Structure 1
Amino acid sequence: MTSSDPDIMHFAVVQYSHSQKLEMSFTMFQERQADLSKIIMGIELMESITLTATAIKFVIDKVFTEEAGAREGATRLLIVITDGETTPGDQDLRQTIALAENKDIVRCAIGVGGSFSPGSKAEKELEMIASSPSNLIKMKSYDDLQSIFEGLKSKINNREGGTSNRQGFTEEAGAREGATRLLIVITDGETTPGDQDLRQTIALAENKDIVRCAIGVGGSFSPGSKAEKELEMIASSPSNLIKMKSYDDLQSIFEGLKSKINNREGVHSSSNKSSFELEMSQAGFSALITEDAIAFGAVGAFDWSGGLVEFRGNTSTFINVSKAQSNMKNAYLGNVCRYV
């Protein structure tokens, strides 16, 4: 991972063994973009003991700081690469991880080699380091790191708001014509200074009838905060705004969203049948005018069983015998209106 979009992702490199060595700070990254490959390839491997907890503490205290070039408000992602368990005499790993948690540092743990057998101390430490099971990776050798880093880079870009050149809500990208566009935005804080104008972006989404659900993760969304106000701006309605403590809560949220989408699209998740009432009625498909009333055929009403909308003065009445009879599904009543 020797290149990245500097507007989205900055990174620093710390090597550790019996001591810690800052190979590249965030400040150096910003100043020497053209020399990144040379810097990374020039790192000489330290070979000795494994003081992982001490190294993590070093990163928290010396690297993830504004003085060292870390950007305020940016997601802190710590990637720990180790080939075994910590050496006896190291700092307490559990306490060090608690410090990282308190500073909202997301952690990815990569175990290299054969020391991480199920139930081993090395594996348990790896599990402790990783923020979640999905952030724990095992590999046979360091040769596998390149493919891992490409995947991590993609994750970071998505997390920080990076986008590919391919637009999402277009037919070229596979979006179906006429389908509801639902945008789910998951964020852990306010937008970084220098981002595009959020209000204008939301206006574009409004113009394209994109329904938006905003999910705020973590403790940044206190009442009245800028982060909360942005979340409210993103969400199409108050009912589409969700706050949660951690990413572990997402599964239950997505089940609820799935139900919302099914209802919006007119589908019962349990039976795959439509749940439309008058939304697709097509009132006016046919018409009949008499001295006393005007009737419009509504062939799409109630799952295309159909019916009539009758107007007498200022009063309208929907007439549909099929609403109570399931065998009238797709009857298309109202296809033709005739006076008998």
Structure 2
Amino acid sequence: MIRNSIASLAAAVLLAGLAAQPSVVKVCRGFLPENALSIPVGSLEDRGIKQEEFNAVLDTVEKIYRPIVAERGATLVVNRKWDDNTVNASAQQSGKKWIINMYGGLARHAAITQDGFALVACHEMAHHLGGAPKSSGWVGSWATIEGQADYAGNLKCMRRVLSDASSSGFTRPRSDDPIAVETCDKAFSAPADKLVCLRGVMAGKSVSALFKALSNDAKDPQLNTPDPAVVAAMYQKHPKTQCRLDTYFQGSQCGRPVSEEVSDTDVFSGTCNAKTGQSSGLRPRCWYKPPAGEPQLLSMPAVIAEVSWTPAGPGPVHPQRTFVGAFSELMSQELWKGR
């Protein structure tokens, strides 16, 4: 009798302890596919942003999103893992804690500017707040899928971040892609909105250079060469490099205001889509499968043209050079560091 009582008590204590432990669900393997890259502080590969720039970006993101997350009944936790050499970022939920993990290794990569790093943080925030489509896999239904996190990251989060006065000094590419300039000029009328759009597109180019380096893609992703793939079902994993750049580009030029929130159940809410009459700013079909209620339009760049491009900085001028290979040239001239 005593032995049975002790056993029952022990079992009850164990179950109570397990129930008290918050569940931790990691969104995915990270902002990037799993990789073995490691960039220590002070290494030869340490060519990205500095610790104070890393913190400045996260200060802005945290200032903006802490009250927004609190309105959802949760607490935002931004883990600033500067000394961690991992080239990635991730998000998770643990009980009422909504967490983003930001690693110094990624921030130190040569392709990363402060605007680019802000986009990474916004992608992770969008796993929490980016709306539908949601994951149907092992990560749990709370998580916005990868492609939508890219789209909402630029459509909502980056607009908040880049509209904040604290972001005015963030580093960004010195040279603006002329296609991005023309597209943003057509998409918005207010100068401030044009600038936010342009910075969002160029941040997408910054991180796309990182995607290319990690995937060993032979071809540079460009704004006028959209991914022609059309998925048969919603693609929930990391899209390919060109597809991700297309997504950032479309999210930046979508004219739906930040105040129109996305929905956890309605893919149309707060987004550009053919159902409500938009023809630009649509989610690319290389990962997005429209539901039956949305016309099957393909998203395309607002501007598709061969354009002349002159690199900034020292070196010969090439007035007839098209934008082909611009990523390689920008990286070789280290033009990702300007303000």
TM-score class, shorter: under 0.3
Q: Which has the larger radius of gyration?
A: 1
Higher percent of residues as strand: 1
Could you tell me the TM-score, scaled by structure 1's length? 0.24
Which structure exhibits the higher relative contact order, with contacts defined as CA atoms closer than 8 Å and separated by 6 or more residues?
2
Higher percent of residues as helix: 2
